[in-house]
Amino acid sequence: MSKAILRVKSFLKSVLDRFFSQLAKRAIVTILCFVALAIATISLPAEAIQSRREPSLWQVYQQSLKSAKYVDLTHAIAPSIPVWEGFGPSKFEPTVNPKTGKPYTYETDGFEATHYDLATDQLGTQLDPPAHWDPYYPTIDELPATYAIRPLVVIPIQDKVAKDPNYHLAVEDILAWEKKHGKIPEGSVVFVRSDWSKEWPNPNLAKRRKFPGVGLEALKFLHLERKILLHGHEPLDTDSTPTLEGEAWLLHNGYTQAEGVANLDRVPETGALVAIGYSKFKGGLGGYARYIAICPSDWKYGVSVGQTPEAPLPKSEKPIHWDKALGVRVR
């Protein structure tokens, strides 16, 4: 009996030894795996860890938008800039304290402000909503937020304009661009480069009856065939026809357009984006707009994030002051 018991004890001991040995091995392997994972995580570059955690659009900013080149396509608004004679001039003045009847000053009040007597909302670089011509379509404050950023196409016609100041973009110009760069993306913004704006801010620009424009057939092709968001041009009108037939067709059919665009000679014909901003006046029939081209990082013009002071902004050696002759503040 005692020998049998001893054999049973011996057998149980060997089984238990093997069982706990396997557990120990598994535990050790598991621990080593966790240690290896921790070491690998610690040794990963900070950029790799950050990219895993960042939302996708933040990655787009870090990887593309931060190093992109930014080019302003906007004229500064001033009383002396070109404007259609039917609107008349605008006037800037220092804002007056209604209690004292005197302008606010840095010395007395610690701040200054400006009173703008703007003759029209069709001034300078603009975004035309269709309600400018048709009351049944959206006003400037009714445009969708999706206008904010789009692919930018720049179609050059400046060589033809140099020979004919009244030249208008034609369908053949669009097709020539596409032959070189590919089909215009749906939903994109198409700006037409004519170099008309190189004389800005000469007030006489607005008095000229012949100027580069965009032909009606070209507008129809861009919107109906290529389904773009909007087009833009450098002059203050779409075309020089007696009835402004291109502008009439656009706005009576619910399309918007950009006018008074600048610096199109400083952006690539393809591969850029455009950011669109404008004042949101209630019931507004025009929009003081700002267009910023976002160009590839290797583009020769523009400035990238980090290349110029942003926060804080740089302090000037000369203070800004009111110039009565110009009717604006200058340094």
Cβ-contact 195, 167 below 8 angstroms: no
Cβ-contact 154, 299 below 8 angstroms: no
Q: How far is CA 146 from the centre of its chain?
A: 11
9-23, 209-223, 304-318 — which is least confidently predicted?
Answer: 9-23
Alpha carbon distance 211, 11 (integer Å): 105
Cβ-contact 204, 254 below 8 angstroms: no
19-23, 174-178, 273-277, 321-325 — which is least confidently predicted?
Answer: 19-23
Question: What is the average pLDDT value for the chain, to the nearest integer?
Answer: 90
The pLDDT of residue 54 = 76
The pLDDT of residue 16 = 46
The pLDDT of residue 2 = 55
* Whether the predicted pLDDT of 79 surpasses 50: yes
The pLDDT of residue 302 = 98
Rounded alpha-carbon distances, angstroms, from residue 22 to 10, 13, 18, 328: 19, 14, 6, 86
Q: How much is the average pLDDT of 22-40?
A: 49
Cβ-contact 216, 190 below 8 angstroms: no
Q: How much is the average pLDDT of 210-231?
A: 98
The pLDDT of residue 15 = 46
DSSP helix/strand/coil, 282: coil
**pLDDT band for position 47 (cuts 50, 70, 90):** low
DSSP helix/strand/coil, 15: helix
Alpha carbon distance 273, 156 (integer Å): 17
Q: Which DSSP letter does residue 117 get? A: E
